[in-house]
Structure 1
């Protein structure tokens, strides 16, 4: 890797040239490059250095992929060991010592009831490939075609995964978007679809689901499975209440509908438990895993109950499902997170960060709600000058959220936006973030929010009491 130019002006010019070439050559579908116009050349832990010499604290972390941050020594050592051993790097689905070690390490982390009778399918390299495999699996095993999914969900951008996702605009380009998919309300504290929030909102969501499944006149397909995120990430960092997840497990189990839990972003300690399902104690029929399990490299799998394993040989494949470097880095990452209890660290530090963000809302009216679980945190940005709706929520303010992201970048902080309207500032720092870095993140974000408020000419605080939707789930 070539070092950046010595002089800052030369470095800035070189970076700008690279960005111009990217804009002229790459697809219009590029996303992060538009809102984060930087050219990373070095990275270690939570810090990224751009080609212009500027340094940033990275709270995107590969959209949650980098559990240990950039270039963690444990992952690098594992990768080098495979390279130095002259082991084959491409093996399709052949058995190797590296693969066996990864599978063993993964199964040791799973809920015991799933691990004891589990089967694993290595998919293509991305989480969306694993979602496709999971949907195909439950349809094959049940002989049914319908799929239950949730409003606000995000499961990937390939056709089947996109059909199960909630974004209508993204699905519009897919032939027969959402065919066979029935959407259900997901508990959303700040914008409860039933206008109640709290436990009552979750109860009504479960009641709706049960009624739909038991109503012979509902006009729905026989269901092959239900797919759910324990925390909606791209949907706005919305944690599902534990009791609600347990109810979904009971409803599906009683009706013979396999439950698929998408842990692509929530897994490997992110939410304060190794797997987010452990908060509620549920055992799904299928778990969809990717991102952090590859130790920063592409890897995706599904793990499922053995009675669903009715595939014929070759029924699901993928040329790069045997990524040896990712399996080695993944094994090292899984064991490091376990041995150092980084899931517990995520729980305690995330609680402290969320507490400070909630306190911040009292001084910044554009913060509608701060929420999350572990080190998966979201701050919903709203228009404080607008009228509250009938249930006490203010309208989303994507323009202000974009300003927050831009001001954060100016202060050396990388954050992402998500949510229904692109108005949720998302924090996904590495699990290795230090207390000092956490404070720096919150300081920079606080300054960015204040700057965005000034830019938007928001009114001073004192916009009435916050909406009373009940306790946070």
Structure 2
């Protein structure tokens, strides 16, 4: 399914679906709308019913095929149903291993921990402890916040504009998006929001290295100001590349400054690697680009090799928990540990982080080259295979950094146009105007070109349709 059929007629399969397949899909989608909560998200953006998937290709119940540039929001490092993952599932199932054992020691857990620690920066791995959390990344964030609050005896947390860390109470409190928090009581006291460097829409209105330096200076001076209103915090939590925030990479110099500032003030530094980990950014872990060593790393998504798994790995000096301080019924997911270990080793053995850096740079360069022909592309950014394309109104006013107004309605049109052309992408960013690309690390050169062809065509057509609609309203 990843061969020629994946790059043929957009949005169609090489053979028609079974009789009634379209009716079946319509029925399933209708029952989903009737029975599932109004909080469902991806199902609203992608009205498809996947029935088969392999590599980067997803086939719907109606027989149509799509190239998947969402990859389970970054979970599928190897794409769908990779042979290495399927073999790990078969081997574990056939071995008779218990599939659920709470937090008991098993050979599969021991092997996963070996595989994970082998990927960590040496200085960090030598002093590391691991805690297995509930299966979602948001629980791992909760664990990291609880750990540092326990170890320091403090309550406050430093977080950043544009951040996304999950949807449970503590993780939501340190998330930046106001709309996600405004109707929910926050669960972590004293969250201080600091400016995250975002060159295209610089919080200081200057951009570039100057904006990055100001962000670091602001953080340091606020912490040292006796009248700044910030008590010594329990932790600082950040993403080396903001994912839901619009694929915004933090400059390495800024990350090093955050590490210096926190280390000098005895503030634990938590780095959320839920989406950036396992080769996604062109290094096995995103912190490696800057060379920093955090105190806590939050990991989920790709570490489970397609299955639910979340952990925190942290410096042994912070291991201040009592037994049972952070528990969860599904900490002992044997299958996920087996598929996770297999995935971690495959990514390392096959050099897929380096591959992500190479392919990602080529895709980003081509997208950036489209800006002249498609002026609705305001900014192209990212790291490795974590790419963002921010859409703007090219007729709107220019701000002090040269950015034009975001165009979220156009982004929705482009997402729909991509789906029509057999391409799955999602939106993100401050205004939901950033097209986000998270293809599997196994993407082929041919698939990368097909993705870019379909995306460029979708942007061009959606832009033209939007322009015609505007003219029609003005007539």
**Distance in 1 of aligned mates of 2:302 and 2:78:** 9
Matches for 1:223-238 after TM superposition, within 5 Å:
223-238=233-248
The root-mean-square deviation of aligned C-alpha atoms, in Å, is 1.3
Q: Secondary structure at the match of 1:107?
A: helix
Q: How far, CA to CA, are the matches of 2:220 and 2:35 in structure 1?
A: 50
The residue aligned with 2:37 is 27
Residue equivalent to 1:467: none
Equivalent residue, structure 2, for 1:340: 350
CA distance in 2, matches of 1:163, 1:455: 39
Residue ranges of structure 2 left out of the alignment (5+ in a row): 1-14, 470-475
* Cα distance change on mapping 1:215 and 1:127 into 2, 3 Å: same
1:350-377 deviation line (CA, Å, top 9, x unaligned): 0000000000111101100011000000
Higher mean Cα deviation, 176-185 or 310-319? 176-185
- Counterpart of 2:371? 361
- Match for residue 130 of structure 2? 120
DSSP 3-state at the match of 2:373? coil
Query: More displaced, 434-443 or 169-178?
Result: 169-178
Q: Paired residue for 1:317? A: 327
- Tell me how far apart the structure 2 counterparts of residues 219 and 193 of structure 1 sit (CA, whole Å): 20
Q: Structure 1 residue aligned with 2:84, among 74, 77, 81?
A: 74
C-alpha distance 365-231 of structure 1, shift in aligned 2 (>3 A) = same
CA distance in 1 between counterparts of 2:394 and 2:188 reads 35
Q: TM-score, normalization: structure 1?
A: 0.95
Say whether residues 1:217 and 2:227 are aligned partners.
yes
CA contact (8 A) 1:171 1:177 kept: no
Structure 1 position 372 matched with structure 2 position 382: yes
* Cα 1:321/1:386, change in 2 over 3 Å: same
Offset of residue 25 of structure 1: 0.5
Aligned to 2:270: 260
Query: Partner of 2:300 in structure 1?
Result: 290
For 1:57, the equivalent position in structure 2 comes to: 67
Once the two structures are TM-superposed, the CA of residue 292 in structure 1 deviates from its matched residue by 0.1
Deviations 1:78-99 (A, max 9, x none): 1111100111000111000000
Give the deviation of 1:220 after TM superposition: 1.7
Query: Counterpart in 2 of 1:462?
Result: none
1:458, distance to aligned residue in structure 2 (A): 7.3
Structure-1 residue corresponding to 2:156: 146
1:96 corresponds in structure 2 to: 106
Q: Indicate how the Cα distance of structure 1 residues 177 and 382 shifts in structure 2: closer, same or farther if over 3 A, else same.
A: farther
Q: In the alignment, does 2:238 pair up with 1:205?
A: no
1:302 aligns to 2:312 (yes or no): yes
Residues 116, 458 of structure 1: CA spacing in aligned structure 2 closer, same or farther, 3 A cutoff? farther
Name whichever of 146-155 and 165-174 sits farther off. Answer: 165-174
Secondary structure at 2:389's aligned position in 1?
strand
Q: 1:84 aligns with which of 87, 94, 117?
A: 94
Structure 2 residue 446 is the aligned partner of structure 1 residue 431: no
5+ long unaligned stretches in structure 1: 460-473
What is the CA deviation profile of residues 155-205 of structure 1, one whole-angstrom value per residue up to 9, with x for unaligned ones?
A: 000000000000111111221466310000000010001111111111000
How far the C-alpha of 1:391 sits from its partner, in A, is 3.1
User: How far off its partner does 1:296 sit?
Assistant: 0.2
Extract structure 1 runs of 4+ deviating beyond 4 A.
5-9
Q: Secondary structure at the match of 1:223?
A: coil
Give the conservation status (yes or no) of the 8 Å contact 1:67–1:431.
yes
Q: Which residue of 1 aligns with 2:198?
A: 188
From 254, 257, 267, the counterpart of 1:244: 254
- Counterparts of 1:11 and 1:323, CA distance in 2: 35
Q: Which residue of 2 aligns with 1:471?
A: none
Aligned to 2:115: 105
Aligned length: 455
| Residue in 2 that maps onto 1:11 | 21
C-alpha distance in structure 2 between counterparts of 1:311 and 1:269, whole Å: 31
Deviations 1:205-234 (A, max 9, x none): 000000011000011232000000000000
What's the counterpart of residue 129 of structure 1?
139
Number of the residue aligned with 2:12: none
Q: Distance in 1 between matches of 2:350 and 2:340?
A: 15
Counterpart Cα distance in 2 of 1:162 and 1:203: 28
Does the 8 A contact of 2:156 with 2:233 survive in 1? yes
Give the 3-state SS of the residue equivalent to 1:404 in structure 2.
Answer: helix
- 1-side partners of 2:186 and 2:376: how far apart? 38
Encode CA deviations 1:85-137: one digit per residue, 9 max, x unaligned. 11100011100000000000000000111110100000000000000000000
Q: Distance in 2 between matches of 1:389 and 1:255?
A: 36
Following superposition, the deviation at residue 342 of structure 1 comes to 0.2
Measure how far apart 1:8 and its partner are. 5.4
Output the TM-score relative to the length of structure 2.
0.94
